[in-house]
Structure 1
Amino acid sequence: MREHHVRPAGLPPVNGYSHAVVFSGTLVAVSGQVPLAADGTLAGEDAETQVRQVFENLRTALAAAGGTLDQIVKITVYLTDLGDLGAFRRVRDEYLGTERLPASSLVQVNGLVHPGFRVEIDAFAAI
């Protein structure tokens, strides 16, 4: 069971997330996923390619726990450049759709663990 509260009365407009998500089920925490392919190589230098790899890694991690991207209830996104926000949103919408988006936080950071990383995303899913 999931109940999305996209914009409860008294809260500002949203752009691609729900202010709150109520859920039941087994909670799965997925560590921050970075734009590395299965062989450990960096998946491109551009934001869109990196975000796509991160969502593929999220999909793989969730599948190992018996879940899917559709079951994500919360994500935290770390971007090194807010200029990449448009690319993030386009790819996010491809992977998560636009109807029942999870709660979300977005943080601009000075850097990530590898200087080539532009994005990292962690997630919670209710399975």
Structure 2
Amino acid sequence: MAHQVIMPSHFPKPRGYSNGIVATGRLLYIAGQIAWDKDARIVSPDFATQFLQSLDNVIAVVREAGGATEHIVKLTAFVTDLDAYRAATSSIGEGWRARMGKFYPAMTLVKVAGLLEPGALVEIEGVAVLPA
């Protein structure tokens, strides 16, 4: 199943995300995932490490449902510190490519005052469209 990436020609070229994706199949809604391990412990106080572990946890949900990274069509990242995000973009980008290749779903990044779990700096939720 191939998704159709939507990039309006009159928009500036996005960096690290797609403007839209058309897909058909089974919808999987992924609850917000933070950077915890199997023992419900935050893996690190480092921002990039937390971002990538949160992404790994999203990917784990998709795989558990029988999907793959290319089935992820929408991600929303909630971050507590935009400066920390900006400082970590190189590490996040490298880790992203190792996990997701050059595929970029539609994405939104939102700064929030805090997250429910103490020590959590990043939470990522998503939507995947799995093969029918």
Same fold (TM over 0.5): yes
- 83, 102, 105: which one aligns with 2:105: 102
1:41 matched to 2:15: no
Unpaired runs of 5+ in structure 2? Answer: none
1:56 partner SS: helix
- What letter matches 1:16 in structure 2? G
What is the match of residue 21 of structure 2? Answer: 21
- Report the RMSD for the aligned CA atoms in angstroms: 1.5
Please list, as runs of the form range in 1=range in 2, the aligned pairs for 1:80-119 lying within 5 A after superposition: 80-83=80-83, 84-85=85-86, 86=89, 87-98=91-102, 100-119=103-122
Structure 1, unpaired ranges of 5+: none
Equivalent residue number for residue 2 of structure 1? 3
**Moved beyond 2 Å, runs of 4+:** 87-94
User: Residues of 1 paired with 2:68 and 2:127: CA distance?
Assistant: 11
Partner SS, residue 126 of structure 1: strand
After TM superposition, the score normalised by the length of structure 2 is 0.86
- Give 1:94 shift: 2.6
User: Identity across aligned pairs (percent)?
Assistant: 32
How many aligned residue pairs are there? 125
Q: Deviations over 1:34-85 (max 9, x none)?
A: 0110111111000121122112211221122111222101100111111214
1:120 and 2:84 are equivalent in the alignment: no
DSSP-derived class of the 1:77 partner: strand
Distance 1:8 1:89 in 2: 24
Q: Contact 1:51/1:91 (CA < 8 Å) preserved in 2?
A: no
Task: Give the TM-score of the pair, scaled to structure 1.
Answer: 0.89
